[in-house]
Amino acid sequence: MGFQDKPDAARVENTEQQAAAQAASEQALKDAQTGKAAVTTGNDAAAANLPDTTIVGQGTEVKPAGTDQKPAGADGEAAKDKVQPAADATGNVLPPVDIYDDKRNNPEGGDKAVDPKAADAPPKDPELNDEQRKALDEHMTKYKQELDSKNFTLDPIQKGWGPYQSLESMVNSGKIQMTRAELKEESYRIRDRDFADMGRNYYKVGEAPVRWNEAELTKKMETERAAVKQQMIKAEEERKVKEAEEAKRKEEEARVQAEQVAKAVDSNVPKVEIIAEAQKAAGMTGDPGQLRDRIKEHVTKEVNAGTLTPEDLAKPMPRVGAIYVGSGVLTGEELQAGLAEQAKRKEEAAKTGAEGPKLGDVLKDLHKDNPEKVTGIEQASKLYESMKVQAEKQRADDLAKAEADAKVKAEADAKVKAEAEAKAKAEADAKAKAAKQPDPQPLPQRIEQGPRKPI
């Protein structure tokens, strides 16, 4: 084995194992004598079923790649430390021997060297969507390439060696870089894995372990895939939660905005009583409540279309177009056509310094061939003017009433405040007066005496 660790790994526990180990030693000796490469490795202690207590290079630092190695002949130890290739009894250099004889541990090629995508055929992963599956496959392809770049075949085992000495040889020759702690940990892992897989507790000369075999690579891939997949599922759940929260927030904002718009529109459209009086003045009939609702509907559409400003809604009357459409005289399209024509005529009038025409006059001109519609436009215009007068008067009355109510409330609040301040002052004065008076003196105690006795 060539390094110190876990002596129980090389210990034979029963007679059958001793017999098997002895037979293996005799066969290995016979193979060496006949020129075959099968020679037990680790050291003589391992062949005799004794724990290995030797660490090749113990007490010396494992030098990183590129540093000078120990010169030949130094202290007479160079011959022992020099890395020699595995050779048979006749001196022929032996090629690396696959431990499993099936190319499972050959990351550089061989029968099992296949395309990473084919080796890691992705499952359907029904929990993921198409975009996630694609991202996961791309990640796993890169991860497989990264694993392959970090995997390697160890230097072939020589007599007296184990994975420790093989890795140490690679460090000293600059093939890899490892600290002594990493070298030790990695060599123990490789050794325990191979012994369990091979069913024996020794290596043969020329065998070349790998850092990670196919089973380990598969497990790493499965672990990584499961972890990344779980992260994707969690991220998708978090995204859905955020989307739901954002949708809820927007819904609440829309609700609040709709309430604000409805309140502003209701304030902009005159009350039913005003509309009823205006209908009488204009000679129109119909339910004033329904007319008000239709006017509010048109004003709301204008707000949603962005054609009305908050300043427009703050007025006590909507635009005259809302009266035309709300009363049923015009459709929305006819109103827009009239507004466009009015804007055109105003622009032409501005060139001469004249004032542009009113919307009602433009509409009557556009529909002059339809007497019934012209009559309706005139009635709606009268309705608007009557509503406007009454609405402005109502707004003035409401403002005056609001100011009066505010004044009364302010006076009442001032009175309550004055009373509270007077009460607090009286209480403070009483406490101050009580603090200035001296403490009452205790009354003299009366001494009770018994009756005098006769002399």
Only one residue has tokens 């339809």, namely 370
Give the pLDDT band (50/70/90) at residue 11. very low
- Please indicate, yes or no, whether residues 60 and 199 belong to a single structural domain of this protein: yes
> Which residues pair with residue 89 across a beta bridge?
none
Distance CA(360)–CA(385), nearest Å, equals 11
Q: How many CB atoms lie within 10 A of CB 60?
A: 14
Task: State how far the alpha carbon of 381 is from the alpha carbons of 173, 266, 278, in Å.
Answer: 103, 21, 11
Number of domains making up the chain: 2
Is 422 inside any structural domain? no
Q: Which residues form the domain of 344?
A: 269-413
Mean pLDDT for the stretch of residues 218-228: 95
- One domain, residues 219 and 282: no
pLDDT digits 0-9 by tens, 56-69: 333 333 333 333 43
Q: What token pair was written down for 224?
A: 């990584």
Chain-centroid distance, C-alpha 249: 18
86-111 mean pLDDT: 52
User: What are 147's two structure tokens?
Assistant: 């694993």
Integer Cα distance of 440 and 445 in angstroms: 15
Same domain assignment for residues 86 and 229 = yes
Query: What Å distances lie between residue 314 and 152, 264, 286, 319, 322, CA to CA?
Result: 80, 7, 27, 12, 15
92 in any annotated domain: yes
> What pLDDT score was predicted for residue 72?
33
Whether 90 and 190 share a structural domain: yes
With tokens 């130890």, the residue in question is 77
Q: Nearest to residue 394, comparing CAs of 271, 291, 294, 280?
A: 271
pLDDT at 455: 63
Judge whether 211 lies within some domain.
yes
Query: 74-89, pLDDT tens digit by residue?
Result: 343 333 333 444 455 5
pLDDT of residue 119: 52
Strands (E), 48-123: none
* Shared-domain flag, residues 274 and 316: yes
- For range 316-345, the mean pLDDT: 92
Residue 359 lies in a domain: yes
Same domain, 60 and 128: yes
Closest CA to 213 of 123, 162, 152: 152
pLDDT at 234 over 70: yes
* Stretch 179-205: mean pLDDT: 95
Q: Say yes or no: 24 and 87 in one domain.
A: yes
What is the pTM (predicted TM-score) of this model?
0.48
Rounded distance, CA 326 to CA 380, Å? Answer: 9
Residues, the chain, total? 455
Same domain, 194 and 111: yes
- pLDDT of 65 reads 36
Measured CA distances, 94 to 33, 176, 336, 392, 394 (Å) = 16, 22, 97, 111, 112
pLDDT tens digits for range 22-44: 554 455 444 444 444 443 344 33
Mean pLDDT throughout 300-313? 89
The backbone torsions φ and ψ at residue 218, rounded to the nearest 5 degrees and listed phi first, read -60, -45
273 and 356 share a domain?
A: yes
In a domain, 427, yes or no: no
Q: What is the pLDDT of residues 144-186, one digit of tens each?
A: 999 999 999 999 999 999 999 999 999 999 999 999 999 999 9
Amino acid 297: pLDDT = 94
Beta carbons of 70 and 78 less than 8 angstroms apart: yes
Cα 27–Cα 32–Cα 34 angle in degrees, nearest 5: 95
Query: Do residue 337 and residue 222 come from a single domain?
Result: no
Structural domain includes residue 43: yes
My answer on whether 161 and 42 are in the same domain is yes
Name the band, by pLDDT with cuts 50, 70 and 90, for residue 282.
Answer: confident
d(Cα 23, Cα 16) in Å, to the nearest integer? 11
Which two tokens mark 394?
């109502």
Q: Is 275 a member of any domain?
A: yes
Q: Tell whether the model's pLDDT for residue 194 goes beyond 50.
A: yes
Measured distance CA(143)–CA(120) in Å, rounded: 11
Same domain, 175 and 64: yes
Nearest C-alpha neighbor of 111 from the set 214, 240, 254: 214
Query: Is 244 a member of any domain?
Result: no
User: What's the CA gap between 308 and 296, in Å, rounded?
Assistant: 13
Kind plus residue range of the DSSP H or E element containing 323: helix 320-326
Neighbours of 209 (CB within 10 A): 24
